[in-house]
Amino acid sequence: MTRPHIAVLDYGIGNLRSAQKALEHAGARAELTSDGAVARDADAVVLPGVGAFGACMDALRANGLEQVVHDAVAGGRPFLGICVGMQMLFDSSEEDPGARGLGVIPGVVKWVPAGVPRPQMQWNKLTLCTDDPMFEGLGDDPWMYFVHSLHGVPEDESDVAATVRYGSTLNVAFRRRNVFATQFHPEKSASAGLALLGNFVKVASR
């Protein structure tokens, strides 16, 4: 397998280096970059994120990277959104009702329903909804690490790739054509998370 060049978009929000380092461990030549030209030349693109939806969208736009995301998605390159990076792919979020998302996955990011602590800050077991290449070798019920208070609700239920039980059923992974996105942190999810990132690296190397 060749070592694919994966651009991890750096728009000045939080610690994004952990995702880069995990992708390198999984076999990629991962580059943390805010340079649109570098991202456009990469084999695959990753959009991480921590913090608030609106602030992350503002930062992405201020760094001139919104169109880079749309170009990567439209061009069919493998694309991975992680945590708030996943949420940004939706149209909007209840966290910041006035903020406009990227609209890659039609739908809304909604608060985790009342009755359980927010955020969910724990390991939780995925229920896989699809036979997605990103889940290859993970087993039937992989455990991943979560820190979140919201979850994505797409217009098309077939976009949901995995769910968890946390008070109710929450959507936590999504597939829409060349785009895969996770609410959980694969870079913090030990062997299962690294296996998932390894699968992304395999897809990017094709």
Catalytic residues: 83, 185, 187
Q: Containing H/E element for 67?
A: helix 66-74
- Spatial distance between the Cα atoms of 34 and 12, rounded to a whole number of angstroms: 9
Instruction: At 109, give phi and psi (nearest 5°).
Output: -90, 120
Query: What string of DSSP letters covers 81-136?
Result: EETHHHHHTEEEETTSTT-----SEEEEEEEPPTTS-SSEEEEEE-EE-S--GGGT
Specify the length of the chain in residues: 206
Instruction: Measure the CA–CA gap between 111 and 133, rounded to whole angstroms.
Output: 29
